[in-house]
A and B are shown apart, each in its own frame.
Chain A
Amino acid sequence: MKKLRLFIDYEKEEKWLLAMAQKGWALESALFTYTFRKTTPQDTSIRVDFRLFKHKKDYLDYIALFEDSGWQHITGYMSIGIHYFKKTRDQANEDIFSDAASKAERYKRASKMWLMFFICYIPVILSLYINTILAPIAVQQASPHHGLLPAFKFIHFTPGLWPRFLFETPFALLGTIMICLLIFLQVTFLISALRCRSLYKEQMRR
Chain B
Amino acid sequence: MNRDANLPLTETTYYVLLALCSPAHGYIIMQKIEELSSGQVRLAAGTLYGALENLEKQKMIRQILGPDARRKTYTITPKGREVLALDYERMKYMILRTDAYLQEVGE
Bound complex: CA A169 to CA B82 (Å): 70
**Judging by beta carbons under 8 Å apart, are A98 and B71 in contact?**
no
**Count of A-B contacts with CB under 8 A?**
62
- A96 touching B72, Cβ below 8 Å: no
- Is B30 an interface residue when CB atoms closer than 8 A count as contact? yes
Interface residues of B (CB under 8 A from A): 10, 12, 25-27, 30, 42-51, 70-72
Distance in Å from the Cβ of A79 to the closest Cβ of chain B? Answer: 17
Cβ B43 vs Cβ A68 within 8 A: no
Give Cα distance in the complex from A99 to B25, angstroms.
21
Given the interface pairs A102-B50, A105-B50, the reply to whether A61 lies near B44 with Cβ below 8 Å is: no
User: How far is B49's CA from A64's CA once the two chains are assembled, in angstroms?
Assistant: 11
Separation of A51 and B46 alpha carbons in the complex (Å): 10
Q: Is the CB of A65 within 8 A of B71?
A: yes
> Are the CB atoms of B71 and A96 closer together than 8 Å?
no
Contact with B along A170-197 (1 / 0, CB 8 A): 0000000000000000000000000000
Residues of A within 8 A of B51 (CB): 102
Interface of B is mostly: helix
6 A-B pairs with CB atoms under 8 Å apart are A65-B26, A66-B46, A69-B27, A69-B45, A93-B44, A103-B46
B71 touches A61 (CB 8 A): yes
Report which of B10, B30, B46, B48 forms a contact with A49, defined as CB distance below 8 A. Answer: B46
Note all chain B residues with C-beta closer than 8 A to A105.
Answer: 50
The distance from the CB of B95 to the nearest CB of chain A, in whole angstroms, is 23
Tell me if A168 counts as interface (CB < 8 A to partner B): no
Determine the chain A residues whose CB is within 8 A of the CB of B44 once the complex forms: 69, 93, 95-98
Minimal Cβ-Cβ distance residue in A for B12: A99
Q: Are A93 and B42 in contact (CB under 8 A)?
A: yes
By a beta-carbon cutoff of 8 Å, the part of chain A in contact with chain B is: 47, 49, 51, 58, 60-62, 64-66, 68-69, 71, 93, 95-99, 102-103, 105-106
Seed contacts A71-B45, A102-B46, A102-B51; 4 additional CB < 8 Å A-B pairs:
A49-B46, A96-B45, A97-B44, A99-B10
Tell me, in angstroms, the Cα distance from A102 to B43 when the chains sit together.
11
Which chain B residue lies CB-closest to A62?
B49
Contact between A68 and B26 (Cβ–Cβ < 8 Å)?
Answer: yes
Assess whether B50 is in contact with A64, with CB atoms less than 8 Å apart: no
Residues of A within 8 A of B30 (CB): 68-69
Residue from the set B27, B45, B47, B70 with the largest chain A CB neighbour count within 10 Å: B45
Name which residue of chain B comes closest to A109, CB basis: B50
Are the C-beta atoms of A61 and B47 separated by less than 8 Å? no
> Which residues of B have CB within 8 Å of A68?
26-27, 30, 45, 71
Beta-carbon contact of A96 and B46 below 8 Å: yes
